[in-house]
Amino acid sequence: MDIAVIGSNMVDLITYTNQLPKAGETLEAPDFAIGCGGKGANQAVAAAKMGGSVMMVSKVGDDLFAPNTVVNLQQQGVDTRFVTTAPGTSSGVAPIFVDDESQNRILIIKGANQQLKPADIDAAADALKSCQLIILQLEIPLETVYYAIDFARQHDIKVILNPAPAVADLNIDYACKCDFFMPNETELEILTGMPVTTDEEVKLAGQSLLKRGLKNLIITLGGRGSLWMSGDSVHQVAPTAVKAVDTSGAGDAFIGCFAHELVKSGDIPAAMAQASAYAACSVTGRGTQRSYPDAETFQRFLNVH
Ligand code: RIB
């Protein structure tokens, strides 16, 4: 295996609407779709669809959603030997609201993802040791994330930490042990308490984190592209212009594709450029994983963009 994702899976319940109800009000929404999601699973699927050899360490509930989650991961080419059931729990679910501007608002109910523990990393240790890269997010317990980072350091495996959803009490010392720290602008704002409206503000907020000892900070900025900051150097990748219909899961598409390209070439700017285009391609379709192209479809997209 090249890449391991130690993280979440969720069932995405996506409502397409411009208006959310007030207290006591019932509103009709025009459209709805159900799909496989979760930041961890999305990143695993994006990397696998691009041709990566990917395994997941994850927990599903013991409900009717679980078998479908596992089968979906397998169909997308993800190794599920270490996706196990947490008895007596529901699977993670994510009600998502997407408006006409293609912007998303996401609620998560972590369910079984809360039961992913350090012991699950120990159980997968032999398989994990063969990986070049581990990807982590924050939809599982923080103690498991920290344990995974220490495991990776001990075995000389590279780590990407995507601090999503952002938690203000994230221990930055652990972020500093990672090779890549990859927030979006909203997460950067929560983590630093600094404004991120303009590119200059983003850079100042980024510098405040770098000063605390981060190695590589890659900030995804949605329609404004992405930014890699390390030491004193700043590298900006312009966005690929597309007509977005649903931005849900675009950040995960970026990270999954970036991870695959990084393992392949080790070239960070090239990996960012591919990841940026891959995320752009994903926002032209509805849903999260469902909108991720495979390598062939992505190549066709690149030919015309
Ligand atoms: O990043 C998008 C993802 O966030 C969705 O798939 C949802 O499940 C939540 O985890």
Q: Is the CB of 249 under 6 A from ligand 1?
A: yes
Cα 215 to middle of ligand 1, angstroms? 26
Q: Is the CB of 46 under 6 A from ligand 1?
A: no
pLDDT at position 165, please?
Answer: 96
pLDDT at position 172, please?
Answer: 94
Cα 194 to middle of ligand 1, angstroms? 24
What pLDDT band is residue 98 in, cutting at 50, 70 and 90?
very high
CATH of the domain at 156: 3.40.1190.20
What pLDDT band is residue 290 in, cutting at 50, 70 and 90?
very high
| Long-range contacts of 126-131, Cβ-Cβ distance < 8 Å, separation of 24 or more | 127/1, 127/4, 127/55, 127/79, 127/81, 127/82, 128/4, 128/6, 128/55, 128/57, 128/155, 128/157, 129/155, 129/157, 130/1, 131/1, 131/2, 131/3, 131/4, 131/55, 131/157
135-160 pLDDT per residue, tens: 999 999 999 999 999 999 999 999 99
210-258 pLDDT per residue, tens: 999 999 999 999 999 999 999 999 999 999 999 999 999 999 999 999 9
Q: Is the CB of 293 under 6 A from ligand 1?
A: no
pLDDT at position 218, please?
Answer: 98
Of the ranges 132-136, 241-245, 261-265, which one carries the lowest mean pLDDT score? 241-245
Q: Is the CB of 106 under 6 A from ligand 1?
A: yes
Q: Is the CB of 37 under 6 A from ligand 1?
A: yes
pLDDT at position 115, please?
Answer: 98
What pLDDT band is residue 117 in, cutting at 50, 70 and 90?
very high
Residue 92 CA: which ligand 1 atom is closest?
8
43-97 pLDDT per residue, tens: 999 999 999 999 999 999 999 999 999 999 999 999 999 999 999 999 999 999 9
**Does pLDDT of 23 surpass 90?**
yes
3-state secondary structure of 226: strand
Q: Tell me the percentage of the chain whose pLDDT exceeds 70.
A: 100
What pLDDT band is residue 103 in, cutting at 50, 70 and 90?
confident
Atom 7, ligand 1: which residue's CA is nearest?
A: 38
Give the pTM.
0.97
47 vs 45: CA distance, rounded Å: 5
Ligand 1, pocket-test mutation among 12, 76, 289, most atoms within 8 A of CB: 12
Residues 6 or more apart whose Cβ sits within 8 Å of residue 233 = none
Ligand 1, pocket-test mutation among 254, 288, 290, 291, most atoms within 8 A of CB: 288
Indicate the number of domains in the chain. 1
Domain that holds residue 82: 3-22+29-304
What pLDDT band is residue 12 in, cutting at 50, 70 and 90?
very high
What pLDDT band is residue 102 in, cutting at 50, 70 and 90?
confident
CA-angle at 163, arms to 42 and 61, nearest 5°: 50
Atom 2, ligand 1: which residue's CA is nearest?
A: 249
Residue 104 CA: which ligand 1 atom is closest?
2
Cα 196 to middle of ligand 1, angstroms? 22
Active site residues: 252
Q: Tell me the percentage of the chain whose pLDDT exceeds 90.
A: 97
Residue 35 CA: which ligand 1 atom is closest?
6
**Does pLDDT of 168 surpass 90?**
no
248 vs 241: CA distance, rounded Å: 17
pLDDT at position 71, please?
Answer: 98
Cα 258 to middle of ligand 1, angstroms? 18
**Does pLDDT of 274 surpass 90?**
yes
Atom 10, ligand 1: which residue's CA is nearest?
A: 38
